[in-house]
Every structure is written in structure tokens, then in C-alpha cells.
Chains A and B, each alone.
Chain A
């Protein structure tokens, strides 16, 4: 370690600006309330973040490929409502695969429109946001969905179970993050995602099938959303139709906070995870500080801006932009 030059330290810091911001916030919140770092609290924050986190993993692929997915919030409501409804009708063992198939079909539709028809992803997924909401309401008739026998179902394991003392949602999140991290960084598909997002034309000339890559990104996103819906449904064993409403922006905030570029071509799974945890710990930290909730909206925003600034500042090595 002693042999690291100042420049090397600088370049390490530059890559981990968002991590530094994360550590700074953790320290600040711990000073404000020592219970912030208690194991119970950490587990409960990570468990709550797991739903948002699993969705963010899929959206990371979409964003790196140079597209957006604003439909994930209402898609999550859809999968939650569907799996809860089917649970009592055809049993959990059948309900889960059917729900995954239905959600992935929606992802395939979006992937087809954006990938093969080359429609603008903002418009397509914004439209799908309300279309899927309508679909969910039509499916449920507007009623809340609840599992009749809440005590006697093994279905609760995904949201409420623990293994080796760790809540199952966390295990799912970590396992999926590790798997998708490997897919993105170590496989040919992962490199194609970066190539398509970085420079689509160049990627096409290199023989990459651009449409197919984009299509697969939306399939991954939908699979993640279905997983999130499964955790959500299992956690509360009942749900209103709007359970995922607004989550699309939180997911996008986490992905961008993690440093993925909205223009595509950059971002990593690890940094998205950090982005998710920052959002989760901010919400929890402000609650523990007992800040009045009107103020919380403002403070949350200030912290996000601070995090983004720290990240940028570390990258360029200066607090201020050299070009004024």
C-alpha cells in the first residue's frame, strides 16, 4: 500500500466517488443516531431496498444499452396483483411461473417496439406505464388483492423468510446482483450491451445484432420486475393496484446515482447496488433522525445532488468544473 503514488490514489478515488459519498452519509447518520448501524436496522433497510434493488438491476441493462424503462413501476404492480390473484386460484407453485411468463411477455412487447421497430424508448415505456396500469386495473376490477389463508402458505418465504439469519429478499437481491454483474462484465452479451449503448452504429458495423441486444435487455428488465413483484407480493400477502406507482423514478434515480449514463454505454451493476443502498439508507436515516417529513423531501433531494457532485468531483479531481 505504501508504494501507491498520489496519482494512483487519485485514480482509485476517481473511480469510487459514489462509494465515498455513501460512506460519508453512513458516518453522518450514525453520528445523528447510533442505532442507525445496528444489525437489525441494516438488515431491515437492505430488505426494504431489495424490491427497488432487484428492479434497478434490470433497468441498468436497459440504460447501458442507451434506452429507458419507465414502465417498471406499473409492471411491478401488475406482477404483484397477478401472482396474488393466481395464488388462490391455481396454487403458488403454478402462480409463480404463470406470473413470470405474463410479465416477460410485456417485456418482450416493449423490447420488440424499441428494439426491432426502433421506436423511442421514452415514448414507448411512458405509454406502457399507463397501459399496464390500465391492464392491472382491468385484471383486478380495481379491487385490492389478498391471499385468503395468510398463515398457511409457503408463498410467504420469498418476502418474509430467512436463511442463515438473513432475510430471503436480501439473498435474492445479492444472488441476482452477482449473477447479472457477471453477465454484464464477463460475457459476450454484456459487452454487446455496452457497445450498442456506446455507439449503436459502430456496433452494427461490427456485426452486433443491435435489435436483438436491446430486446434481450428488456426481457432481463421484465424478469427482474417479476422477481420484485414476487418479493412484494410475498412480503405483504396482499396489495393495492398502485403498489409500484412512482417506483420507476426511484429506480432510475438509483441507477443514475450509481453513475450509469442516461446516454448509454456506461454503468455497472455494483454501482447500481450502491445507488440503491444510498436511497434506502437516506430514507431510513431521515426517519431515525425524526426529521419532520415535509423537510425530508428537501433533504433527500439535497443529499442526492451532493452524492452526484461528489462523484463528478472525484472523477475530474476538482470540486469545480474547469470550464466555467
Chain B
């Protein structure tokens, strides 16, 4: 990028910021989402985003969905640039492939905010801020939940854990797995992770993986699943095989996970609200446009939830 375009871009942003601060014209914020409708999280996210944008009369929103298709998302980025929106929020369909489109927006002087799952590091220069959950911390917190429970049960010296990950290659899956695997030996050095296999974010697949684990290992004390959907699949397998006393810990607390916790079958998870996620993304865009100082990694909090404290949280709607 040349010095000139940088200057133009930054001046444009500065002017824009000043204008919005005065409250003259509404901010036009465009969003291109990953794949609405593929799961309840993304559906709820979209509804919450639209509601938050409508509730704020300083904001005018253009809401698009890429349907999981990288090419369509790149085309949508170009559309938003053509429409001269003031800021673009992107939920990347693919952390690598969208970088050229993000760069193009940046060069056109439009600040880009990445939401939910970050793009690859090569694209960080073209992004104003990332708004979303900290998946590495989530993985670490799941490890802590599991370790604390083992300590309560007095089995922290011999417990064996199996790990069911999300879709291979998906950033969220990789980061949560890393957070868990790094943290567990720090808090519970004698607990061993005996096997790791992907459940592809799919309850049925996860159930099949767990069935194989149950055949392979006579002694399983804990299961860590990359989200509750898979965790409940694993729980179903254990129930069908009549194996009691296994501690299930997931992430992204789903309604099914919450119910299984209420029933005493499922120990804990990470509470991540799509409503918080959507509102944080919109707020980040507003802050950037208003000229506020926004951290590059703008995480919203995703606390631990277990059978002990679940009363403090409402049942997820997805």
C-alpha cells in the first residue's frame, strides 16, 4: 500500500469519526456473515445483530450472509465497498481466503472489524479490530473445570481423559484444543489425555467416536468436547453403553448441554452468548467509527458454567 492511499484512508476515517461524533449522519455498517442457518448460534447471532442495529438510531446496517461460500463472501465484500459503507464487519468463511478482500476494503479507507473467528495473521495489518470469544482461554478454562472436578473426586492423580475436537482445520477447533491441551498439564499434571479425535461439530459423529473410545478404553474418567453439541453426543454414547461416572466438559453452552447439566449428567461448559457476540461486534464497529481507542483483540467474556453455578445463567436459546 502506498503512502498516498494510507493518507487518504486515514484522513477519511478521521473525517468520518469526526462526523459521527457530531451525530450528523447515521453510520452505515455492513456485515457479511459466515453461514446463517447452519446452526442456531449463527441464526441467533444474526437476529441479535439486526435487533441491536435497529435499536440504535445512529446506525444503518446492511446485513449479508455468505452461506459458507468463500467466493460469495469476497463478492459481498466488494459490494459493500461499492456501496461505500462506513465500516465492514466480517465473519470469515475462511481465515486465509478472505484476506485479499479485507485488504481491498482497507485500501478503500473502510475500517474492517472481524467477528467471532479471526482471520489469519497475514491479514492483521488490514483489520482495525477483532471482536469475539477468546478460544484459547475457553480451552484453558475447560481444562480448569475438569481438573477442579477431578480434585473434588480425589482422582487427579490417575484420571484418564479423551478429547473430541471440532472440525479439523477450523480455527476455533484448533485454538480450543490448544488451550485445553496446554492448560491441563499445568493444573493437573498427572491426568493423561489418552486419545484425541474429531467430532466435526456433529453430535452423531461425536457419538460414534465416543462409542469407539468406550470399546478401546476400559477406564475413561473425563471427556472434553469442543462444544456441547458434541459433548452431548458423547454423553449419549456413554449412557447407551451403561458407563457411569464420566465427567463431561464442553464449550459453547448449548440448550441441550444446559439441560444435561440440570439433569446431573453433564458437568460443565463455557457460557458463550451469540447475543453478546453480535452486540460486541456492532459496538466495536461503532467505537472504531467514533474514533475511540479500541484494542486489536477485543474479546468478550465467556465464563465457566458448571452444575454448581448454572443457576446464575439463563438457558441458552440455541
**Contact digits for A25-38, partner B, Cβ 8 Å, 1 yes 0 no:** 00000000101001
User: If A143-B318, A160-B240 touch, does A232 touch B195 (CB 8 Å cutoff)?
Assistant: no
- Which chain B residue has the least Cβ–Cβ distance from A297? B168
User: Shortest beta-carbon distance, B244 to chain A, in Å?
Assistant: 16
- Which chain A residue has the least Cβ–Cβ distance from B200? A246
Q: Which of B207, B211, B215 is the one whose CB lies under 8 Å from A236?
A: B207
B37 pairs with A35, CB closer than 8 A: no
Q: Which of B36, B168, B216, B229 is the one whose CB lies under 8 Å from A288?
A: B216
B203 pairs with A238, CB closer than 8 A: yes
Which residues of chain A from 34 to 64 have a CB within 8 Å of any chain B CB?
A: 35, 38, 40-41, 44, 48, 51
Complex CA–CA separation, A242 to B209 (angstroms): 18
- Segment at the interface with A among B38-46, B96-104, B126-134, B140-148: B38-46
Asked if B208 is an interface residue, CB under 8 A from chain A, the answer is yes
Chain A neighbourhood of B204, CB < 8 A: 51, 232, 235-236, 243
Chain B neighbourhood of A48, CB < 8 A: 207-208, 211
Chain B neighbourhood of A287, CB < 8 A: 197, 209, 212-213, 216
Asked if A284 is an interface residue, CB under 8 A from chain B, the answer is yes
- Which chain A residue has the least Cβ–Cβ distance from B212? A287
Which residues of chain B from 190 to 217 have a CB within 8 Å of any chain A CB?
A: 195, 197-198, 202-204, 207-209, 211-213, 215-216
Size band of the interface chain A makes with B: 20 to 34
User: Shortest beta-carbon distance, B44 to chain A, in Å?
Assistant: 8
B211 pairs with A44, CB closer than 8 A: yes
Give the A-B contact count at a CB cut-off of 8 A: 84
User: Shortest beta-carbon distance, A145 to chain B, in Å?
Assistant: 9
Asked if B187 is an interface residue, CB under 8 A from chain A, the answer is no
User: Shortest beta-carbon distance, A147 to chain B, in Å?
Assistant: 10
- Which chain B residue has the least Cβ–Cβ distance from A242? B38
Complex CA–CA separation, A123 to B135 (angstroms): 41
A143 pairs with B40, CB closer than 8 A: yes
Asked if A144 is an interface residue, CB under 8 A from chain B, the answer is yes
A239 pairs with B203, CB closer than 8 A: yes
Which residues of chain A from 263 to 318 have a CB within 8 Å of any chain B CB?
A: 283-284, 287-288, 290, 293-294
A241 pairs with B198, CB closer than 8 A: no
Asked if A97 is an interface residue, CB under 8 A from chain B, the answer is no
Chain B neighbourhood of A240, CB < 8 A: 38-40, 202-203, 229
Asked if A91 is an interface residue, CB under 8 A from chain B, the answer is no
User: Shortest beta-carbon distance, B126 to chain A, in Å?
Assistant: 30
Q: Which of B37, B216, B236, B256 is the one whose CB lies under 8 Å from A146?
A: B256
Asked if A141 is an interface residue, CB under 8 A from chain B, the answer is yes
B39 pairs with A288, CB closer than 8 A: no
Asked if B174 is an interface residue, CB under 8 A from chain A, the answer is no
Q: Which of B43, B207, B241, B256 is the one whose CB lies under 8 Å from A142?
A: B43
B198 pairs with A293, CB closer than 8 A: yes
Q: Which of B43, B207, B215 is the one whose CB lies under 8 Å from A35?
A: B215
Chain A neighbourhood of B92, CB < 8 A: none
User: If A142-B36, A243-B204 touch, does A294 touch B168 (CB 8 Å cutoff)?
Assistant: yes
Asked if A19 is an interface residue, CB under 8 A from chain B, the answer is no
- Which chain A residue has the least Cβ–Cβ distance from B217? A35
Asked if B255 is an interface residue, CB under 8 A from chain A, the answer is yes
**Contact digits for B95-115, partner A, Cβ 8 Å, 1 yes 0 no:** 000000000000000000000
Chain A neighbourhood of B216, CB < 8 A: 33, 35, 287-288, 290
User: If A35-B216, A288-B216 touch, does A142 touch B40 (CB 8 Å cutoff)?
Assistant: yes
User: Shortest beta-carbon distance, A35 to chain B, in Å?
Assistant: 6
User: If A235-B204, A239-B203, A287-B209 touch, does A143 touch B43 (CB 8 Å cutoff)?
Assistant: yes
Q: Which of A144, A160, A232 is the one whose CB lies under 8 Å from B318?
A: A144
B37 pairs with A142, CB closer than 8 A: yes
Chain A neighbourhood of B215, CB < 8 A: 35, 38, 40-41, 44, 288
A238 pairs with B212, CB closer than 8 A: no
Asked if B254 is an interface residue, CB under 8 A from chain A, the answer is yes
Chain A neighbourhood of B240, CB < 8 A: 160
Chain B neighbourhood of A232, CB < 8 A: 204
**For A48, A137, A160, A243, which residue has the most chain B Cβ atoms within 10 angstroms?**
A48
User: If A142-B42, A287-B209 touch, does A236 touch B236 (CB 8 Å cutoff)?
Assistant: yes
**Contact digits for A108-148, partner B, Cβ 8 Å, 1 yes 0 no:** 00000000000000000000000000000100011110100
A146 pairs with B255, CB closer than 8 A: yes
User: Shortest beta-carbon distance, A40 to chain B, in Å?
Assistant: 6
**Contact digits for B244-270, partner A, Cβ 8 Å, 1 yes 0 no:** 000000000011100100000000000
Which residues of chain B from 145 to 168 have a CB within 8 Å of any chain A CB?
A: 168
Complex CA–CA separation, A77 to B37 (angstroms): 13
Chain B neighbourhood of A146, CB < 8 A: 255-256
User: Shortest beta-carbon distance, A32 to chain B, in Å?
Assistant: 11
User: Shortest beta-carbon distance, A170 to chain B, in Å?
Assistant: 13
**Contact digits for A47-88, partner B, Cβ 8 Å, 1 yes 0 no:** 010010000000000000000000000000000000000000
Complex CA–CA separation, A283 to B212 (angstroms): 10
Chain A neighbourhood of B207, CB < 8 A: 48, 235-236
Chain A neighbourhood of B241, CB < 8 A: 40
User: If A146-B256, A241-B38 touch, does A141 touch B212 (CB 8 Å cutoff)?
Assistant: no
Chain B neighbourhood of A239, CB < 8 A: 203
- A33-B216, A40-B215 given; name 11 further pairs at CB < 8 Å: A48-B207, A51-B204, A142-B40, A143-B43, A144-B256, A144-B318, A146-B256, A235-B236, A236-B233, A290-B216, A293-B168
Cβ-closest 6 pairs across A and B: A142-B43, A142-B37, A287-B212, A137-B37, A44-B211, A41-B215
Would you mind naming 21 contact pairs between A and B with Cβ atoms under 8 Å apart?
A: A38-B215, A40-B215, A41-B212, A48-B211, A141-B43, A142-B42, A142-B43, A144-B256, A160-B240, A236-B203, A236-B204, A240-B40, A240-B203, A241-B37, A241-B38, A243-B202, A243-B204, A284-B208, A288-B212, A288-B216, A293-B198
